[in-house]
Amino acid sequence: MPKDQLQGIKSEYDVIVIGSGLAGLTCANILGRMGRRVLVLEHHYQLGGMATWFKRKRGHIFDISLHGFPFGMVKSCKRYWSEDIANRIEPIRGIRFDNPQFSFETTYDRKDFTRILVERFQQPLERVEAFFDKARSFNFYDDDGTTTGQFLERCFPGRNDVHRLLMEPIAYANGSTLDDPALSFGIVFSNFMSKGVYIFKGGTDLMIGLMKKELIRNGVDIRIYSDVERVLVEEGRVTGVVCNGRSIRARSVVSNANLRGTIQRLVGEEHFAPEFLEQARRVRLSSSSCQVYMGLKPGESFDYLGDLFFTSTLDHFDSVALCAKEVTSRTFSCYYPDTRPGSDRYSIVSSTNANWDDWANLPPEEYEREKAKLIEDTICALERYLPDIRGKLDWIEAATPGTFSRYTKTVHGATFGTKFEGLSVSKAIPEQIAGLWHAGSVGIIMSGWLGTINYGVIVSNEVDSYLSRTNTVRATEEV
Amino acid sequence: MTRQEIRQAIIDILADIAPDEDTANLKDDVSLRDQLGLDSMDFLDIVMELRKRYNVEVPSSDYPQLATMTSCLDYLSPKMA
C-alpha cells in the first residue's frame, strides 16, 4: 500500500494553505505564530513553489531564481520569518549588460544608475531625478492607464537604449512588458533601485529548509505529495478541502495555487457570481520561461562574469522579441562557489521569457529537438563570453513552459502569475466565498520574491481577522 | 484604557516595528509615516498587533485614521475604552 501522506493530521484546521510557494508559506507562518491551527498541503515532493532548486548526480545543485531579491526582503524575512533567515541575505556584486546598444557593469541602484544615465547616456540630471521620483511615487490603487512604454517614452523620448536599460531587468524579474501599466514598473523598479539586488547565501534549499523549520516550530502541519483536488464550499462558505481523496475540514482556506486554477479547478465556477467570472476570465496570464542549467565539472571554473548578465543580439529593445522562440536575449545567472559556502562548484542558469503556445503542443520528437536546439544555442551564446566553456560543462539540461507547468501546476506554465488585472480578482475572492482567499503571484506587483512574501502577509491579516470575527459569532451562538 | 495608556500601547507596538527609530519623542500631530519612515507593510503590522494584543479590529478602509498619533488616539479611544 502507498504511504498515507496525510497520516497524523488533525480533524479540523483554522486554515488550510494549498500550495507552498512563498506567499503560502509566509501566510502559514504568520497564522501559525498567532496560534492558529494551520495545515500546508503541497502536491510536489519539496516546498517552495517557484522558489525552488533541484539536485543532479555528481553533486550539482541548480537554483531556479535565486538572484534578484530587492532589499525589502531583508525586512520582510526578519519580521515574518526569522533574524537568521534575514541575516543570510547579501548584496550581489554586479549586474552586467551586453547588447548592440551598450555594454557595462553596474551595482543596479539609484546612485549608480543616475551616474550611468548622466555620463553614458548623456541625460540631464534633473530629468533623471524626475524619472526616479515619479517611478517611486506610483501607487497600486491609481492606475491611470499609462503603460510602461508610454511612461519611459515621456521620461526619455526617443531613447530606446535607455528604455532597454530600465526595462530589460524588470522583464527578467517579472515577465512584464512595455504594454503593462507604468505603475507596476514603477513599484518593482523602485524596490530594486532603493538599495540594489540581493541573494540568499546558502542557496534556495537552505532558505526553504530554514523556513520549514520555522513553520514546524510555530506548530504548522506540513504535508508533501498532497494534491488538493477540491475546495469544499457549502452555502457560499468554505468548509474544507479534498486532498488525496480525503476530506479535511477547515474554517478557512488560502489558495497559493495559480489564480485561474483556483477558480476553475479547485473551487469550480458554479460557486461564483457571473459578473465575477466574467472579470476572472479576462485576466491574462503573464508569460512563461525557458531555462538552461549548466553545471561545471568539479575543479573547473570561469572568470567573473557578473552575477546577473543581461545579453542580447537584437539591435533595439522590444518586449515581444523577449518571448520569441527565436531567442535573441538571454539572462545568465552565474553561481560562484560562494553561493553555497563550502562548495567549490560553478554553474550558470540561462533564462529567457517564453510563450506557452510555442512549446505546449509540439509532438514528442519535435519537442526534444527544440529542447536540444535551445541547449545548443545557449552554449553558443555563452561561448561569445567564455570561449572554453563547452569543454568545462559536466551537466546540462533545459526546462520549458511545460516543465514549469508540471512541477508547479500553474496554468500554461505561467512563471510570473497574472497581468495587473489579476490583483483585483484575487482580492475579490473572499467577497464571493466566505473564508476563501487567494495568495499567489498576481498583478505583476504581487509576484517575485518580495511581492509574494508581502501578499502572504496581507492575506494572513485578513484571514486572522476573519477567524477572530467568526469565533465571536460562534461563541455568541453557543450562548 | 485611558488615552495615555493607549498612547503607550501604540508606542510599544511602534518600538517593535521600527526598533531603530526614536519612538520615545514622537510628535503627536506629525505623520507617523514621515517621523518613523513607515511603509504600508508597517501599517499592516500595526493593525495585526492591535488585534493580537487588544482584540481591536481596524478595517482597511480605516487605515488612514492611523496617520498621526492624535488621529490614532481619536480613532482607537472609543474602541479600546
Whether A15 shows a pLDDT value over 70: the answer reads: yes
Question: Does A79 sit within 8 Å of B45, measured CB to CB?
Answer: yes
So where are chain B's domains? Answer: 3-80
The pLDDT tens digits of the residues spanning A142-163 come to 788 999 999 999 999 999 999 9
For residue B41, give the nearest of A34, A454, A465 by CB distance.
A454
In this prediction, residue A332 carries a pLDDT of: 97
The secondary structure of chain B as a DSSP string is --HHHHHHHHHHHHHHHSTTS--TT--TTS-HHHHHT--HHHHHHHHHHHHHHH-----GGGGGGGSSHHHHHHHHHHHH-
**CATH 1.20.1600.10 describes domain B3-80:** no
φ/ψ of residue A404, rounded to 5:
-65, -40
pLDDT of amino acid A371: 95
Classify strands A95-98 and A308-312 as parallel, antiparallel or unpaired.
Answer: parallel
Q: Given pLDDT bands bounded at 50, 70 and 90, which one contains residue A479?
A: very low
pLDDT at position A1, please? 57
User: ipTM score of the complex?
Assistant: 0.86
Nearest CA in chain B to A465: B57
**pLDDT at residue A477, as a whole number:** 55
Calculate ∠ Cα A100-A104-A110, nearest 5°.
Answer: 120
Q: Which residue has the cell 504600508?
A: B40
Average pLDDT over residues A170-181: 92
A468 interfaces chain B, CB cutoff of 8 Å: yes
Q: In the prediction, which pLDDT does A334 show?
A: 97
Give the chain A residue nearest B17 (alpha carbons).
A79
> What per-residue confidence (pLDDT) applies to A473?
61
Q: What is the mean pLDDT of residues A112-122?
A: 98
Residue A22 confidence (pLDDT)? 97
Q: What is the DSSP letter of A159?
A: -
What pLDDT score does A320 carry?
A: 84
What average pLDDT does this structure show over A230-242? Answer: 97
Residue A469: list chain B partners with CB under 8 A: 57
Chain centroid to CA B64: how far? 11
Taking an 8 Å cut-off on Cβ atoms, the answer to whether B44 and A458 are in contact is yes
Contact B41 A34 (CB under 8 A): no
User: What pLDDT score was predicted for residue A465?
Assistant: 95
Contacts of A75 in chain B (CB under 8 A): 41
Residue that wins the pLDDT comparison between A471 and A293: A293
Q: Which residue has the cell 524619472?
A: A131
CA pair distance A168, A311, nearest whole angstrom: 10
Structure confidence by residue, pLDDT tens digits, A197-221: 999 999 999 999 999 999 999 999 9
Strands A197-200 and A347-354: unpaired
Task: Give the range among A364-378, A428-442, B34-48 with minimum mean pLDDT.
Answer: B34-48
pLDDT of residue A474: 57
Adjacent-strand bridge partners of A386: none
Query: Does the pLDDT of residue A416 top 60, yes or no?
Result: yes
Whether A476 shows a pLDDT value over 60: the answer reads no
Q: Please list every residue in chain A whose beta carbon sits closer than 8 Å to the beta carbon of residue B51.
A: 464-465, 468
Render pLDDT for A82-101 as a digit per residue (tens, 0 to 9): 999 999 999 999 999 999 99
Residues with Cβ < 8 Å from A131, sequence gap 6 or more?
A: A155, A156
Chain B positions in Cβ-Cβ contact with residue A30 (cut-off 8 Å) = 48
Average per-residue pLDDT for chain A: 94
Please give the Cα distance from A359 to A374 (Å, whole number): 12
- Residue type for A442, please? V
Joined grid coordinates for residue A122: 548623456
pLDDT digits (tens, 9 = 90+) for A286-300: 989 999 999 999 999
B interface with A, Cβ–Cβ < 8 A, is 17, 41, 44-45, 47-48, 51-52, 55, 57
Q: Distance (Å) from the C-alpha of residue A460 to the closest C-alpha of chain B?
A: 9
| Min Cα separation A426/chain B (Å) | 16
pLDDT score recorded for residue A270: 96
Is residue A257 within 8 Å of A418, Cβ to Cβ? no
Q: Does A34 touch chain B (CB under 8 A)?
A: yes
**A464 close contact with B: CB closer than 8 A:** yes
Shortest Cα distance from B1 to chain A (angstroms)?
A: 21
For B41, the closest of A30, A457, A465 (CB atoms) is: A457
Q: Does residue A291 sit in helix, strand or coil?
A: strand
Which residue of chain A has the CA closest to B43? Answer: A458
